[in-house]
Chain A
Amino acid sequence: MTDRRPDEPEIEALQVDRYLESILVARDRGAAFGPYDPDLDPELRSVAERLSAELVRVHPSFRFEERLARRLADVAAAMRLPAAAGAATGAGTSPVPLNLLPDPAAASAAVRDEELTAGRSRPYLIGGALTSAAISLAGAAFVAWRLSRPVDPMTRAIRRAHHGVDARTGLA
Chain B
Amino acid sequence: MARPVFRKVRTEEDRRLVHLDLDRALVEAALRDPAAFDPLYRKYLAQVYSYAYYELGSHADAEDVAERTFLLALAALPRFSERARPADGEGASTFRVWLFQIARNVVANQRRTERRHLRAVIEAAALVADPLDLEADSSRHHEGQAAWAAVGRLPADRRRALVLRFVEEMSTAEIAGVLGRSEGAVRVLIHRGLRAVARDLGGRRW
Contacts and interface: CB of A to CB of B under 8 A. Distances in A.
Contacts of B47: 57
B22 interface: no
Contacts of B5: none
Q: Most chain-B Cβ atoms within 10 A of its Cβ — which of A14, A43, A50, A94?
A: A50
Contact of B50 (A20, A44, A57): A57
A9 B188 CA distance: 8
Given A52-B166, A60-B66, A127-B68, A120 B102 contact: no
B71 A17 contact: no
Contact of A100 (B93, B102, B143): B102
B23 interface: no
A108 B179 contact: yes
A60 B45 contact: yes
A2 to B, nearest CB: 17
B82 interface: no
Contacts, number: 211
B27 interface: no
Given A13-B188, A68-B67, A109-B180, A58 B115 contact: no
Interface of B, secondary structure class, is: helix
B156 A115 contact: yes
Nearest to A55: B166
Interface in B70-121: 70-72, 74-76, 78-79, 83, 88, 93, 98, 101-102, 104-106, 108-109, 111-113, 115
B63 A44 contact: no
B102 A101 contact: yes
Interface residues of A, number: 67
Nearest to B140: A54
A31 interface: no
Interface residues of B, number: 80
A111 to B, nearest CB: 5
Contacts of B143: 50, 54
Interface of A: 9-10, 12-14, 16-17, 20-21, 24, 27-28, 43-44, 46-48, 50-52, 54-60, 64-65, 68-69, 71-73, 75-77, 79-80, 89, 91, 94-97, 99-102, 104, 107-109, 111-112, 114-115, 117-122, 124, 127, 130-131
26 contacts: A13-B187, A13-B190, A13-B191, A16-B194, A21-B172, A51-B151, A51-B194, A52-B166, A54-B147, A55-B162, A56-B124, A56-B167, A71-B67, A71-B71, A72-B41, A75-B74, A96-B76, A96-B79, A100-B102, A100-B105, A100-B106, A102-B102, A107-B105, A111-B105, A112-B180, A122-B112
The 6 closest A-B pairs by CB, nearest first: A108-B180, A76-B34, A102-B101, A13-B191, A47-B198, A13-B187
